[in-house]
């Protein structure tokens, strides 16, 4: 029995990489029945460490076979939405484009995720997260004085891509349930990453943002919003922006230097950063956590991927869980009445072909015919 606020929702996911599987994971974690269409004969899948594949069922099909394409269309007839992350035109060439799908299911919400979008002069070009966020102004704003630095693939793939696709898909499904009309959701990572930059474009328009990296309030330019190395070589993050939080920072660190009254004087920031760095370097990270952790300083230790799951706050909230020996993030966000859960392990490719098709209303003879014509992996 699937559990979560999306229980009862049926989603067809066409297997991909990166943000596509992450979107499928988000929907599954909240209870949606996500059936993933995998390529017949592919060998990957089923490894416990394939965290973003968790919680769905795999149907393996050869989409070059007309019988397999027809099986996909029959699944689409029963689905609330689909998600796919191929380059523009690929689904159309397979006979599974939105025009065909919406004719079969007028209430369908057809989610398409690409880097550059379905239209535009770069729509068919290859790219990765770093390229997409570079085009939006986000990458230029992140990094050191010397160069922009990719912030993992959090801003484009997952933030601007997967999260916006999940948001758009669910918005479309609400509309379809109200009106009976489905639609296509064109989710470009460039659009999503640009949307994430809304506040900073507002800062620029109001004169509060300089284009030079590490010269602004939130990009490491302000000494009171930065990371500092401790005596043991580990790091802490300090974000004492507001006056009352800044005053508490000075109290907790024992700083009495009158120069620190110049908090918002940008000309003093570099000098004060050096002075604060000396103070922070006088104690270990654990010592500073004992002094400032859980206070209104706006403080946190900078934890690595081994340390984060063991921190008392994360332990208390069960932010991380262990499944089949793999530590991984628990479902988020949290719901008081309909909590989500990890619905199952990452599936082996084709592990649920018969089971999922039966659950989605296929008959035994239909599945047997597909076995004969398309011979899917089981």
- Extents of the domains making up the chain: 10-196+321-374, 225-229+235-301
Q: Which of 160, 10, 1 is nearest to 75 (CA)?
A: 10
> What are the backbone angles phi and psi of residue 348, rounded to the nearest 5°?
-70, 145
Class of domain 225-229+235-301: alpha beta
- Mind listing the pLDDT tens digit of every residue in the chain (378 residues)? 899 999 999 999 999 988 999 999 999 999 999 999 999 877 767 899 999 999 999 999 999 999 999 999 999 999 999 999 999 999 999 999 999 999 999 999 999 999 999 999 999 999 999 999 999 999 999 999 999 999 999 999 999 999 999 999 999 999 999 999 999 999 999 999 999 999 999 999 999 999 999 999 999 999 999 999 999 999 999 999 999 999 999 999 999 999 999 999 999 999 999 999 999 999 999 999 999 999 999 999 999 999 999 999 999 999 999 999 999 999 999 999 999 999 999 999 999 999 999 999 999 988 888 877 654 444
Q: What is the pLDDT at residue 371? A: 74
State which CATH number among 1.10.10.10, 3.40.50.10540, 3.30.70.1450, 3.40.630.10 fits the domain covering 10-196+321-374: 3.40.50.10540
| Coil/strand/helix, residue 233 | coil
pLDDT value of position 374: 52
Please state, in angstroms and rounded to a whole number, the distance separating the CA atoms of residues 250 and 279.
10
Question: How much is the pLDDT for 366?
Answer: 87
191 catalytic per annotation = no
Which entry of 33, 80, 129, 157 is annotated as an active-site residue? Answer: 157
Helix (H) or strand (E) holding 226: strand 225-229
Cite the beta strand spans of 91-198 per DSSP E. 109-114, 183-188
Is residue 140 flagged as an active site residue? no
Q: Among 95, 97, 36, which Cα is nearest to 70's?
A: 95
Q: Is 290 left (phi over 0), alpha (psi -120 to 50) or beta?
A: alpha
Catalytic: which of 62, 128, 191, 311?
128
């Amino acid at each position: 029995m699937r559990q979560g606020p999306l229980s009862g929702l049926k989603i067809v996911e066409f297997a991909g990489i990166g943000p596509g599987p992450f979107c499928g994971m988000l929907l599954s974690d909240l209870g949606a029945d996500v059936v993933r269409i995998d390529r017949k004969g592919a060998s990957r899948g089923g490894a416990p460490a394939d965290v973003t594949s968790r919680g769905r069922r795999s149907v393996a099909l050869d989409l070059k076979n007309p019988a397999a394409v027809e099986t996909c269309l029959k699944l689409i007839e029963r689905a609330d939405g689909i998600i796919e992350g191929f380059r523009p035109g690929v689904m159309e060439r397979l006979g599974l484009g939105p025009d065909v799908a919406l004719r079969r299911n007028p209430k369908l919400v057809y989610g398409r995720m690409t880097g550059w979008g379905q239209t535009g002069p770069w729509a068919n070009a290859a790219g990765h997260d770093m390229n997409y966020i570079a085009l939006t102004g986000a990458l230029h704003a992140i990094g050191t004085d010397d160069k922009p630095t990719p912030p993992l693939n959090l801003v484009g793939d997952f933030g601007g891509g997967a999260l916006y696709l999940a948001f758009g898909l669910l918005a479309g499904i609400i509309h379809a349930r109200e009106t009976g009309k489905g639609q296509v959701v064109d989710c470009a990572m460039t659009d999503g990453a640009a949307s994430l930059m809304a506040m900073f474009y507002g800062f620029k328009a109001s004169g509060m943002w300089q284009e030079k990296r590490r010269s602004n309030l939130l990009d490491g330019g302000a000494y009171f919003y930065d990371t500092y190395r401790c005596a043991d070589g580990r790091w802490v993050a300090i974000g004492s922006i507001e006056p009352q939080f800044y005053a508490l920072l000075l109290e907790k660190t024992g700083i009495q230097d009158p120069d620190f009254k110049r908090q918002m004087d940008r000309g003093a920031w570099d000098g004060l950063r050096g002075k604060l760095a000396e103070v922070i370097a006088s104690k270990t990270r654990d010592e500073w956590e004992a002094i400032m952790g859980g206070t209104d300083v706006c403080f946190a230790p900078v934890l690595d991927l081994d340390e984060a799951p063991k921190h008392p706050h994360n332990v208390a909230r069960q932010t991380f869980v262990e499944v089949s020996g793999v530590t991984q993030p628990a479902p988020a966000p949290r719901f008081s009445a309909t909590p989500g859960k990890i619905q199952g392990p990452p599936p082996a490719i084709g592990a649920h072909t018969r089971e999922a098709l039966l659950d989605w209303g296929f008959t035994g003879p239909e599945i047997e015919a597909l076995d004969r014509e398309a011979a899917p992996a089981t």
